Structures are given as structure tokens and as C-alpha cells.
Amino acid sequence: MKKLILVAFLAGSIGFVAGNAFWYLASPLWIDQVVDESISQSETDQILARGTFSDADAAHRGRGTATIFQGTDGRRTLRLSDFEVTNGPDLEVWLVAAENITASSDVTASEWLALGQLKGNIGDQNYDIPADADLSKYNSVVIWCEQFGVLFSPASLLR
């Protein structure tokens, strides 16, 4: 009887851990996080750079526009418009020095600046750019999975 209880406890524990791991890793595949942030007219006075998101590969797809604005107050904002990317765990928005990014290795071999966690995998959203960031050295915006070191979607910036 003790052996049966031990086996049931172990099987339940393994099932609990495996189920939670599966939910954490796989649920973003069917759950979307939609964001709809507005941006004020004063923040969009000058466009510094713009790019279009593309697919990183068949599993990691992205579309939409990345635009860097500078307001009259000097504040710089990255705006993602008409944006959609494959959802995943621990997604972040990065400015990257490399141009024409096609693979994760392009990102890891380059200098980057993290702007924060992706607010949602669908919709318009804004990210503040630190005042001391030298934008002249960043040529791309990427959606990056920090946990697994995987590129989800790149956008080359045009000035």
C-alpha cells in the first residue's frame, strides 16, 4: 500500500510540474495580448527613423511598423503601429546596432539596448528611449525572446 501511495505521489508531482511547464511555454501560442496605446501629437513632431517588421523564420512571424519619434520636449519614443508578432515567453523590445538582421546570431553578435518587456503581441504600443541613448548607432528594432535567446521579428530602421 505504501508503494502505491508513493508511486501516485511521484506521478502526481511529475504531472503537476510538466503541466505547468507546458502551460508556461505553450499557452502564448494560442493566447494573444492586445494593446491599444495612443500617442500624443506633441510626441510625434519629428520622425527620426522608421522600419517595417518581418518574419524571423516560419515559426516566428512579425509585421507592422516601428517608428522613432522625437517630441518638441526632446523626449524620444519608439512606436509600434499596426503591430503583430507571434506570441512567446519573455518577449522584449530591443534596439540593435546590426543592420539587416536575419538570425538570432546577428543580434547576439551586436550591441543592443533593451527598451522593456513587450506590452502585447498585437496592437499599437509605445516605448520610451533613454535620453542618453545614442540613436545613431542603432540600426534595427527587434522583438527578442530573452529566456531562450531567439529572434522573433526584426525591423531595419531607415533614417
pLDDT score of 65: 98
Compute the distance between CA of residue 141 and CA of residue 154 in angstroms, rounded to an integer: 6
Q: Please answer whether residues 153 and 96 qualify as being in contact, where contact means their C-beta atoms are separated by less than 8 angstroms.
A: no
- Of the pLDDT bands very low, low, confident and very high (cuts 50, 70, 90), residue 38 is very high
Q: How far apart are CA 101 and CA 97, in angstroms?
A: 10
What is the pLDDT, as a whole number, of residue 11?
Answer: 74
**Is residue 7's pLDDT more than 90?**
no
Only one residue has cell 516566428, namely 60
Backbone φ, ψ for residue 14 (5° rounding): -65, -45
The whole-number pLDDT of residue 105 equals: 97
pLDDT at 79 over 90: yes
pTM of the model: 0.84
Who has greater pLDDT, 2 or 87?
Answer: 87
Weakest-pLDDT range from 18-22, 58-62, 99-103: 18-22
What share of the chain in percent tops pLDDT 90?
74
Question: Mean pLDDT: which of 16-30, 38-52, 113-127 is highest?
Answer: 113-127
Query: Which H/E stretch holds residue 107?
Result: helix 104-108
